[in-house]
């Protein structure tokens, strides 16, 4: 519990000046929702996995280093976050393709965070798409997220079912 609260505070501070793609939601709502999806839908109660979920975008999107996470949260949490961190030195399209290609080789814990992250992002795109995104861009995003998750190891039936149900509902509308 203490680790999870510490991760919440750490992530809130690191993301404090960022907003989600809709331009108004504070960024921290996203990592909190990823941790909540793991707990509420996936039934995950491991504090290191929940902390990694809260911290999953800190290396990629803030000035946080892997070393800092290791020191504050230990090597298990640091490794999960590193596994789900894109290399921002690569181009956008290369990073997107790498997520698909690397998905089968993620650890079980990183796979859980990856699925919950995609559930959170796909839900946001469906419910409140970024203002500059047209229908095609939303469709493409959702197709890409599906390709990533289809390539992941099967680690949690409830999360997988929830993810694919979101896609079915969206496509039926
Ligand atoms: Zn994320």
172 alpha carbon – ligand 1 mean position (Å) = 26
Encode pLDDT of 97-117 as tens digits. Answer: 999 999 999 999 999 999 999
Catalytic residues: 60-61
Chain-wide mean pLDDT for the chain?
A: 95
CA pair distance 167, 142, nearest whole angstrom: 7
Q: ∠65-71-73 over CA atoms, to 5°? A: 95
17 alpha carbon – ligand 1 mean position (Å) = 16
Write a three-state SS string for the chain: CHHHHHHHHHHHHHCCCCECCCCCCECCHHHHHHHHHHHHCCCCCCHHHHHHHHHCCHHHHCCCCHHHHHHHHCHHHHHHHHHCCCCCCCCHHHHHHHHHHHHHHCCHHHHHHHHHHHHHHHHHHHHCCCCCCCHHHHHHHHHHHHHHHHHCCCCCHHHHHHHHHHHHHHHHC
Percent of the chain with pLDDT over 70: 100
CA pair distance 35, 47, nearest whole angstrom: 10
pLDDT of the residue at 24: 84
pLDDT of the residue at 66: 97
95 alpha carbon – ligand 1 mean position (Å) = 14
173 alpha carbon – ligand 1 mean position (Å) = 26
pLDDT of the residue at 52: 98
CA pair distance 77, 109, nearest whole angstrom: 10
pLDDT of the residue at 173: 76
pLDDT of the residue at 88: 85
pLDDT of the residue at 47: 98
83 alpha carbon – ligand 1 mean position (Å) = 12
117 alpha carbon – ligand 1 mean position (Å) = 5
Mean per-residue pLDDT, 21-34: 92
- Bridge-partner residues for 26, per DSSP? 19
55 alpha carbon – ligand 1 mean position (Å) = 9
Encode pLDDT of 112-165 as tens digits. Answer: 999 999 999 999 999 988 889 999 999 999 999 999 999 999 999 999 999 999
């Amino acid at each position: 519990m203490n680790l999870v609260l510490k991760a919440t505070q750490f992530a809130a501070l690191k993301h404090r000046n960022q907003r989600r793609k809709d331009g108004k939601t504070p960024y921290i709502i996203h990592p909190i929702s990823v941790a909540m999806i793991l707990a509420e839908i996936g039934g995950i109660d491991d504090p290191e996995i929940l902390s990694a979920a809260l911290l999953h975008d800190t290396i990629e999107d803030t000035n946080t280093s892997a070393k800092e996470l290791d020191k504050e949260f230990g090597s298990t949490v640091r490794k999960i976050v590193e596994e789900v961190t894109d290399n921002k030195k690569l181009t956008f399209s290369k990073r997107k393709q790498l997520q698909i290609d690397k998905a089968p080789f993620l650890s079980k814990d990183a796979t859980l965070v990856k699925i919950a992250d995609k559930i959170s992002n796909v839900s946001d795109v469906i419910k409140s798409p970024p203002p500059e995104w047209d229908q095609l861009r939303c469709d493409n995003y959702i197709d890409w997220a599906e390709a990533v998750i289809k390539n992941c190891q099967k680690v949690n039936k409830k999360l997988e079912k929830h993810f694919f149900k979101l896609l079915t509902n969206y496509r039926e509308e």
